[in-house]
Amino acid sequence: NAGVTQTPKFQVLKTGQSMTLQCAQDMNHNSMYWYRQDPGMGLRLIYYSASEGTTDKGEVPNGYNVSRLNKREFSLRLESAAPSQTSVYFCASSALGGQGNYGYTFGSGTRLTVV
Amino acid sequence: GQQVMQIPQYQHVQEGEDFTTYCNSSTTLSNIQWYKQRPGGHPVFLIQLVKSGEVKKQKRLTFQFGEAKKNSSLHITATQTTDVGTYFCAGSGTYKYIFGTGTRLKVLA
């Protein structure tokens, strides 16, 4: 039982390059999320998908796009990477929008550096 | 928009001392969750509090939800080196949670 799987684990991009971060969950969760984590800033929500077929902006959506490919997969795309997007990115999923006694299940993260 | 703040940002304690982190929301919450993130790891769900004034315990950890449902606290009794990490609260929104800034705990042996 893998839970939430993120790829890649590490990535270095040059300014202006594009890339897609992949996330897949095998827990049959309806909701999926992308967060970024920066020192002293906690976890900030980029985009989320409450259920298959829907996506919504979070707190810091600028410079990102997402695709909820199916119930299992939720990808995050950086079209033109900027140094300000250097961060650790976490994907998470939940059964009931995060409610209940299980909360979110997080992936192990992608450490992205933009030079 | 909704904001969730935590204090302190950092805390160093001697092993065996107690530790408390506080979480404050700008809006009333329907519930609040707590997570722990070990260094280099990912956040792991600890607990959810729903009722006004609710208190829950997990071994040495005590979680409280304020009467007005706008604040919460996590208290660790007699810290151990295994408690090292960052503790986050997360306030409920519609289909999503807003995370606090976190409190990084270091325990000195």
| Structure confidence by residue, pLDDT tens digits, A26-42 | 999 999 999 999 987 78
Let me know: does B95 contact A97? Beta carbons within 8 Å. Answer: yes
3-state SS, residue A86: coil
Residue ranges in chain B modelled with pLDDT below 50: none
> Nearest-CA neighbor of B21 among B37, B5, B40, B8?
B8
- CA atoms lying within 13 Å on the CB side of residue A33: 28
Q: Quick one: pLDDT at residue A27?
A: 93
Please report the residues numbered 20 through 39 in chain B whose beta carbons come closer than 8 angstroms to any beta carbon of chain A: 31, 33, 35
Rounded to whole angstroms, the Cα distance separating B92 from A103 reads 11
- Locate B86 and state its tokens: 């960052």
Cβ–Cβ under 8 Å, residues B44 and B61: no
Q: Do A97 and B94 touch (CB under 8 A)?
A: yes
* Option in B43, B92, B95 nearest A48 (CB): B95
Q: How far apart are CA A66 and CA A49, in angstroms?
A: 9
Q: B38: helix, coil or strand?
A: coil
Chain A residue with minimum CA distance to B5:
A42
Mean pLDDT computed over every residue of chain A: 93
From chain A, the residues in CB contact with B92 under 8 A are 98-99
For B55-84, the pLDDT digits (tens) are 999 999 999 999 999 999 999 999 999 999
When comparing pLDDT for B95 and A69, which is higher? Answer: A69
The average pLDDT across A96-110 equals 81
